[in-house]
Amino acid sequence: MAAHRSRDAGGPLPQKLYNGLVVPAARVALGGLVRLRPRLAREVAARRGVEFRWEAAAARTAGCRPRIWVHASSAGETLQARPLIEAIRAGRPGAAIFFSFFSTSAERLVAGWEAPDASDYLPFDWPRPVRRVVHAIAPDALVLVSAELWPNLIWTAAERGASLAQVCCRVAGGSRRLEPPLRALTRRLYRDFRAITAVSEEDAALLRQAGVPADTVAVTGDTRVDATLARLRGANPDPLPWRRDPGGGPVIVAGSTWPADEAVVLEAVARLRERFPGLVLVLAPHEPTPKALERAARRARAHGLAAERLGRLAGGDGARPAGDAAMLAVILVDRIGILHRLYDAADLAYVGGGFGGAVHNTLEPAAHGVPIAVGPNHGRPHEVEAMRQAGGLVPVRGTTELIALWQRWLSDPIARERAGRAARSFLDREAGATERTLGFLRERGLPV
């Protein structure tokens, strides 16, 4: 069991300010927001009894050593955590491995996952439930993924003597935690970390500038690259409910879209179909709720585009279009978990989020060698910048630029293939991040 540390790992003043001001304000805000945001209400409901569930999981693994706790926020971070946990399990079959997550979007990704001994929600960062779970698990190592920094979790784990690490750390592109007034708290939180692995050199430089000791930081890349390539290699026996017509027109897959993305993409497709009449758009809203799907269908019809939901197209074997589906211009993806496979049918890809403030997963279309368009407010993640510089990804500011880009790629197969190879080459260069990350954690003394 991890040894207790007698000193206050977070320092008395930061803890008093955080737990005396921030936590009470957050609890009040949460009580109001659950009435307005159904997803948040689900996250609150899912945490009922979570302390008891973690205590039961800890009891089931009482004799297992070392005790390794990995935490991620949502679906994207869970994809980063997955190859790490799989590798830790392979190397330490007798370890107790716990995986916690924050968002409901991660829950579906851990169903049936056998590598961790337990997977469940992280309690909200209130002192009492966090202390209770940390004391039950008694981690020898706590590994936080990407941008996760929960003060009470960090302070309590450090106080008990756990070795702390953060992996796949991203702070480039305007992270507020490195700016006043959060900069001082961030520096204090990182004080007890043994290892921080950064996605890029820019991330590492910013961490060092913020006061993180240089020997604590190493650039090891993004483990999502390994997860994406592994999923691409893995055989999936289930047929897709739609497949492209071998003699049909070009296919564009727009994934993880929001209304602002859909406004631009659907207008662009409507105008491009004047020149490419067989063009098909496969549109996957980030949250494919009935409301979101109906909204997208109405917008498609307003542009004169026939649209239908993917679930209504499946034939008897689950792979053929039904009825007059071949005449459709827009196919609306009404389920989760298959977008990465649909990119295999694409000639071009659009990844949503860039008209909001942060683009979603660009690695999946890149893995299939598909050239990518994104919105202008993409947040400058490392992979987007690298693929943009290589010519495999292009940001667009609106419909006019998107039409020009897609028209060029659709009219010039050589240019399209060259851009697709440029996108794919990023993954080939960055592969191996899992091994590099675990290697550095072990160098720094973490029992992983």
Q: Which of 79-83, 103-107, 182-186, 295-299 has the lowest mean pLDDT?
A: 182-186
Name the percent of the chain in helix, strand, coil, to the closest 5: 50, 15, 35
Give residue 301's pLDDT.
Answer: 97
Give residue 327's pLDDT.
Answer: 74
Paired tokens of 194:
């043994």
Write out pLDDT tens, residues 229-262.
999 988 676 777 777 887 889 999 999 999 999 9
Left if phi > 0, otherwise alpha if psi is -120 to 50, otherwise beta: which for 168?
left
Check pLDDT > 90 for residue 5: no
Residue 10: pLDDT band by 50, 70, 90 thresholds?
Answer: very low
Of 265, 226, 267, the C-alpha closest to 353 is 265
Query: What pTM does this model have?
Result: 0.90
CA distance 256 to 337: 11
Can you list the positions of beta strands (E) in 199-263? Answer: 217-219, 251-257
Q: Kind of pairing, strands 393-395 and 163-169?
A: unpaired
Q: What Rg value do the Cα atoms of the chain yield, rounded?
A: 23
Residue 337: pLDDT band by 50, 70, 90 thresholds?
Answer: confident
Residue 123: pLDDT band by 50, 70, 90 thresholds?
Answer: very high
Write out pLDDT tens, residues 82-115.
999 999 999 999 999 999 999 998 998 999 999 9
| Structural domains of the chain ordered from first start | 17-26+51-232+431-443 (3.40.50.11720), 251-428 (3.40.50.2000)
Write out pLDDT tens, residues 352-404.
999 998 899 999 999 999 999 999 998 889 999 999 999 999 999 999 999 99
Cβ contact 134:9 at 8 Å: no
Of 282, 392, 393, 373, the C-alpha closest to 329 is 282
| Burial (Cβ within 10 Å: 0-12, 13-18, ≥19) of residue 337 | exposed
Highest mean predicted confidence (pLDDT) among 4-13, 246-255, 288-297: 288-297
Residue 319: pLDDT band by 50, 70, 90 thresholds?
Answer: very low
> What average pLDDT does the structure give for the chain?
92
CA distance 171 to 179: 11
| Burial (Cβ within 10 Å: 0-12, 13-18, ≥19) of residue 431 | middle
pLDDT more than 70, % of the chain? 94
Average pLDDT over residues 25-51: 93
Give residue 324's pLDDT.
Answer: 47
